[in-house]
Structure 1
Amino acid sequence: MHPSLARLLQVSGQLSQEELAKRIGELPQTITNWKRRGVSKPGALKGAATFGVSANWILNGGETQGKVDVVQVKGWDSTTPVDDDEVEIPFYKDVLVSCGHGTFSEIVGHETRKLRLSKSTLRRYGVSECNAYALTAFGDSMSPIINSGAIVYVDVGRTNITDGKIYAISHGGLFKFKFLYRMPKGGVRIVSANKEEYPEESLTAEEIMDQEFCVVAYAFNVQNPLP
């Protein structure tokens, strides 16, 4: 068995090939093919999104770094006391669906909905409570890592680009989640997970200004909806 498939089966809890295929939306024959050829990149992305590990780790092994983790949100209502190790953060459910034009602060300034997140999660990622927000993803440009309707936790205090990380960006007045990469002379590459339908874009420093591009926040967690 190819090592990449062995790692994928490991994080799945040793599902059968048929069960694994169903969980990640592949054909059983595809899983059989991976025994010899190894897991494909799209398959690794699906596995990463489903089981909360790094796609690079599935493909190559080593440390499970560079992942966007899955966080479970506990059931509660406004009368439920906040635990000592919890914080309430603003949840901007409709920002990415109907954001329109304007700055981030203008759009989200009046939100009253909240989600709860553990302080240990914030400490793990070095996020200050005052900079933590929850946004709703819209569309399939980042699928299967971030699916439409996913809740994405972001840090608005971290806007300097680290190559290959996912950020919430404002581009021409629209909010999007994208992989970002720095380019020489102040340019930026904007990359989608779903590259077939959403081709990569490159902006020069001048185009960044002309097209009203800016980095809004760093995405550090995602909770994808169940299929």
Structure 2
Amino acid sequence: MEYLPLSELPTLADRINHAMQQRGLTQQQLGEAAGTSQTTIQKLCSGKTKETKKLNAIAKALQVSANWLATGEIPELGAEESTTGSKVHLEPLHPWDDGTPLDDDEVEIPLYKEVELAAGGGRTAVREVAGRKLRFSRATMRAAGVNPAQAVCATVSGNSMEPLIMNGATIGLDRGTTHIVDGEIYALEHDGMLRVKFLYRLPGGGVRLRSFNREEHLDEDYSFQQQQDQHIRILGRVFWWSTVRPLKSAPLI
């Protein structure tokens, strides 16, 4: 790869176009290699988009320095690791907020949580949190087999699924998959409570709820009639979860 100075390639668009020409890649090929869309690459190549959270992935696909791609600063000879080497490369996080425009390959997923009903005598229900959304790449949704229009996120509480899914974790669930596949994890509403469990089918339309933490939480079996009486409703299959772990958290083991 021939790195040219900033004076010859002053913009991000110039550097991407130069590297693509050097590698013999089309916009479509670069998009596929970087896990983004051809439209995103086209906007970057034309200069319409000045920055992207996909910078590191694009640099990796082009086999160039991410710093050079971003700033035009030519790396020192031997400073870059071979792309075939075994060294682990840690890429920086790209923070965003509600005002950050969506990339072409991103979608926003609404967030739900368990809330106490007004004048409900302590009763709760699972409701959407107004204005709160999480972002996922379309590639992630495709890999999970989830239609973004059917996806929601939710926050969970309790230790019944620890240490697999920690207390306070955020989960992603597919509302398009509510039929039970034995041993899969589902989110369900149980008389207003948000619960996350392994589910198993039982004869006669019954269902078994199983926790990962089986030492503290025993299996729960419900007949079809009990499900109706206790308002047990499957919200969707859990396809993703994530936990922010504070520095002073209790040890996992």
SS of 1:207's equivalent? helix
Equivalent position to 1:203, from 201, 216, 222 = 222
Q: TM-score, normalised by structure 2?
A: 0.55
Q: Which amino acid aligns with 2:190?
A: H
SS of 1:153's equivalent? strand
Match of 2:148 in 1: 129
Equivalent position to 2:202, from 179, 183, 186 = 183
Contact 1:147/1:225, CA 8 A, preserved across alignment: no
Identify which range, 166-175 or 185-194, moves more after superposition: 166-175
Match of 1:79 in 2: 99
Q: Which has the higher contact order (CA 8 A, sep 6+)?
A: 1
Question: Does 2:131 correspond to 1:112?
Answer: yes
Contact 2:114/2:124, CA 8 A, preserved across alignment: no
* Per-residue CA distance 1:76-101 (angstroms, 9 max, x = gap): 01222211111111123xx1465744
SS of 1:121's equivalent? helix
Matching of residues 64-103 of structure 1 within 5 Å:
75-92=95-112, 95-96=113-114, 98=116, 100-102=123-125
Unpaired stretches in structure 1, ≥5 consecutive residues = 1-72
- Taking a change above 3 Å as real, the CA distance of residues 193 and 87 of structure 1, as seen in their structure-2 partners, is same
Q: Note the C-alpha offset of 1:216.
A: 0.9
* Per-residue CA distance 1:187-210 (angstroms, 9 max, x = gap): 000001111111110011121112
Q: Distance in 2 between matches of 1:174 and 1:84?
A: 36
Contact 1:97/1:138, CA 8 A, preserved across alignment: no
Match of 1:142 in 2: 161
- Taking a change above 3 Å as real, the CA distance of residues 201 and 125 of structure 1, as seen in their structure-2 partners, is same
Match of 1:160 in 2: 179
- Taking a change above 3 Å as real, the CA distance of residues 147 and 97 of structure 1, as seen in their structure-2 partners, is farther
SS of 1:113's equivalent? strand
Match of 1:193 in 2: 212
Q: TM-score, normalised by structure 1?
A: 0.61
Q: Alignment identity in percent?
A: 41
Indicate the RMSD between aligned Cα atoms, in angstroms.
1.8
Matching of residues 33-44 of structure 1 within 5 Å:
none
- Taking a change above 3 Å as real, the CA distance of residues 177 and 122 of structure 1, as seen in their structure-2 partners, is same
Unpaired stretches in structure 2, ≥5 consecutive residues = 1-92, 118-122
Q: Distance in 2 between matches of 1:122 and 1:193?
A: 25
* Per-residue CA distance 1:22-75 (angstroms, 9 max, x = gap): xxxxxxxxxxxxxxxxxxxxxxxxxxxxxxxxxxxxxxxxxxxxxxxxxxx852
Contact 1:96/1:138, CA 8 A, preserved across alignment: no
Contact 1:163/1:181, CA 8 A, preserved across alignment: yes
Q: Which amino acid aligns with 1:158?
A: T
How many residue pairs end up in the alignment? 149
The answer to which structure has the higher helix fraction is: 1
